[in-house]
């Protein structure tokens, strides 16, 4: 596959959206909040507070095809057959899809769904011996293949339930930088897994992105997001925590914008704080655009405004305020890009 940009020519992204997780355990309440906050770019909410199987790793592991996991005291581990933990993960995902379907009747436009990407999944799932799948290249290949099949089925189900939606897949890869740098710890905690070759990382991401027949966005709220690698792998968009952005990222950002990559700029903190005025929240983005010598008129169309990371650790009231703030900040950017 030449890259997901094939699917994005003339693509209309929404001005603002969320990252994924929300506080609490009520799927209908979460879907109502999300669809009410982002009429132009809703997303499938995740509710990790419900417990194992609703967490990021367990939820995506429940999507795998012909690979099954169960929960050990040390974390998620591969097993021989689907057990209670896999069934629970699938049940909660079904509940979330039911709620999303209810609140998106007649909706047309972009709709985002999230899953953990292959490298963070490989770092977070244990083989039978207790070590991460990351340490076994064959296991990583099998996992990536199973994930791609599972995502195909999941995306088809979302399109069936919300037929007017243009589905955007977000792959969550918070461990990607650690995988590239050899910083993921082994089970003992005394060693780290060897750094994975960048071409292998890129190729595996490209293969998994090939499961989507729409645009793919890669999200990481870790420092040093590898923008260029993600673009080469075919990411149509990159979602990142704007507060972790440093001067050494500027060139990569400029190249990404000029190459047509959509930036999902996380400008609103993911945990409770006092929010400034929406226009103030996007001041840093405006400043960056000036420094890079980019046309201010392209700001609103090149950016989607989001929280910096998921909102699972926020209070319900703050989560609602943060989503509303993102929508208002995006409007401010569109109304006054200078």
Q: What pTM did the predictor assign?
A: 0.95
pLDDT band at 302, cuts 50/70/90?
A: very high
Q: How far apart are CA 154 and CA 288, in angstroms?
A: 37
pLDDT at 5: 38
141's tokens:
């290949």
CA distance 331 to 115: 28
Can you give the pLDDT at residue 178? 97
Residue 3 has pLDDT above 50, yes or no: no
Mean pLDDT over residues 109-128, rounded? 97
Mean pLDDT of all residues belonging to the chain: 93
Q: What is the mean pLDDT of residues 7-25?
A: 83
pLDDT band, very low/low/confident/very high, at 300 (cuts 50, 70, 90): confident
What DSSP designation does 185 have?
B
Burial class of residue 85 in the structure, from the number of CB atoms within 10 Å of its CB (0-12 exposed, 13-18 middle, 19+ buried): buried
């Amino acid at each position: 596959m030449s890259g997901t940009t094939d699917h994005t020519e003339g693509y209309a992204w929404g001005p603002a959206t969320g990252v994924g997780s929300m506080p609490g355990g009520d799927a209908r309440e979460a879907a109502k909040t999300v669809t009410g906050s982002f009429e132009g770019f809703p997303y499938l909410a995740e509710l990790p507070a419900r417990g194992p199987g609703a967490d990021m790793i367990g939820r995506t592991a429940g999507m795998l095809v012909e690979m099954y996991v169960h929960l050990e005291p040390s974390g998620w581990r591969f097993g021989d057959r689907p057990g209670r933990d896999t069934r629970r993960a699938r049940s909660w995902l079904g509940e979330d899809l039911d709620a999303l379907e209810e609140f998106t009747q007649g909706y047309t436009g972009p709709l985002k769904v999230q899953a953990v990407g292959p490298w963070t999944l490989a770092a977070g799932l244990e083989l039978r011996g207790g070590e991460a799948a990351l340490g076994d290249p064959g296991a990583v290949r099998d996992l990536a293949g199973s994930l791609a099949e599972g995502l195909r089925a999941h995306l088809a189900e979302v399109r069936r339930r919300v037929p007017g939606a243009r589905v955007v897949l977000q792959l969550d890869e918070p461990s990607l930088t650690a995988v590239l740098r050899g910083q993921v710890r082994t089970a003992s905690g005394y060693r780290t897994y060897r750094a994975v070759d960048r071409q292998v990382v890129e190729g595996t991401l490209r293969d998994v992105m090939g499961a989507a027949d729409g645009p793919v966005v890669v999200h990481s709220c870790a420092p040093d997001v590898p923008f260029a690698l993600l673009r080469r792998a075919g990411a149509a968009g990159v979602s990142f925590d704007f507060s972790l952005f440093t001067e050494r990222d500027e060139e990569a950002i400029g190249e990404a914008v000029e190459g047509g990559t959509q930036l999902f700029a996380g400008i609103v903190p993911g945990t409770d704080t006092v929010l400034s005025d929406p226009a103030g929240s996007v001041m840093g983005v405006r400043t960056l655009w000036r420094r890079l010598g980019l046309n201010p008129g392209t700001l609103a169309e090149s950016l989607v405004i989001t929280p910096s990371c998921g909102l699972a650790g926020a209070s319900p009231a703050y989560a609602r305020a943060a989503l509303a703030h993102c929508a208002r900040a995006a409007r401010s950017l569109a109304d006054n890009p200078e």
